[in-house]
């Protein structure tokens, strides 16, 4: 109960889309766009119940998952070393899911906007803010850049997360600046390259740093 009380902001973020959906329930079409192509056009639909109730339910399940994970993590003692940052990370993840839900809600209600920009800039803002806290994540088995090399060496873990933080912040800022100027036919590809880069570079770096830490090469 104490945890639920302390997480009141997270619950506001999680439940706000449900309250909005409940209020406008009769105004939604029977089929809800739940997936969009790189051109911003919907390419998959679901029923109102699935798209507006069950999908946001992932956010609720994630909340309880985040409560359980620190208790079963072999490195659970380390969570106390970044407890405040862990809560911020949890809040950011819940906010991202609620944001995506609300974008879907407004689109389904007929509001006109460039959904590609709205979703991409929402994700860029997420990576930008998350990057500011990623460097403070301590060694654990569930949150962060989990590769065989970061999990087996705490120095590699620390170095990899510090580099990743810089890449996420710098890369997100760069994409925010250049994205509006990219031709529409390559903007989606450019965004996917960005996602690939911020995911793959930390993995490669963790391997190279592990080799350096263990062999000196």
Measure the CA–CA gap between 101 and 14, rounded to whole angstroms.
10
Residue 136, SS3? coil
Residue 209: how many CB atoms within 10 A of its CB? Answer: 20
Measure the CA–CA gap between 75 and 82, rounded to whole angstroms.
12
Of residues 64, 55, 93, the one with CA closest to residue 4: 64
Which residues have CB under 8 Å from 69's CB, separation 6+?
A: 142, 143
Each residue's pLDDT tens digit, 102-154: 999 999 998 988 888 899 999 999 999 999 999 999 999 999 999 999 999 99
Q: Dihedral sign, CA of 116, 188, 62, 50?
A: positive
Residue 55: how many CB atoms within 10 A of its CB? Answer: 18
Each residue's pLDDT tens digit, 18-77: 999 999 999 999 898 888 776 777 788 888 888 888 888 999 999 999 999 999 999 999
pLDDT of residue 4: 56
Which residues have CB under 8 Å from 166's CB, separation 6+?
A: 131, 135
């Amino acid at each position: 109960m104490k945890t639920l009380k302390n997480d009141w902001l997270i619950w506001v973020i999680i439940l706000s889309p449900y309250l909005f959906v409940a209020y406008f329930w009769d105004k939604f079409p029977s089929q809800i766009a739940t997936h969009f192509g790189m051109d911003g056009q919907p390419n998959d639909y679901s029923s109102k119940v699935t798209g507006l109730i069950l999908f946001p339910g992932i956010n609720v399940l994630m909340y309880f998952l985040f409560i359980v994970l620190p208790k079963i993590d072999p490195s659970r003692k380390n969570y106390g070393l970044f407890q405040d940052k862990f809560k911020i990370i949890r809040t950011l993840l819940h906010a991202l899911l609620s944001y995506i839900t609300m974008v879907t809600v407004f689109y389904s209600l007929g509001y006109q906007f460039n959904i590609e920009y709205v979703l991409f800039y929402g994700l860029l803002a997420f990576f930008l803010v998350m990057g500011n806290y990623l460097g403070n994540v301590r060694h654990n088995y569930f949150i962060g850049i989990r590769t065989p090399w970061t999990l087996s060496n705490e120095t590699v873990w620390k170095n990899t997360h510090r580099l990743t933080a810089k890449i996420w912040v710098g890369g997100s800022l760069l994409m925010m600046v250049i994205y509006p100027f990219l031709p529409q036919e390559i903007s989606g590809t450019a965004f996917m390259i960005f996602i690939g880069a911020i995911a793959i570079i930390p993995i490669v770096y963790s391997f190279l740093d592990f080799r350096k830490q263990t062999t000196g090469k």
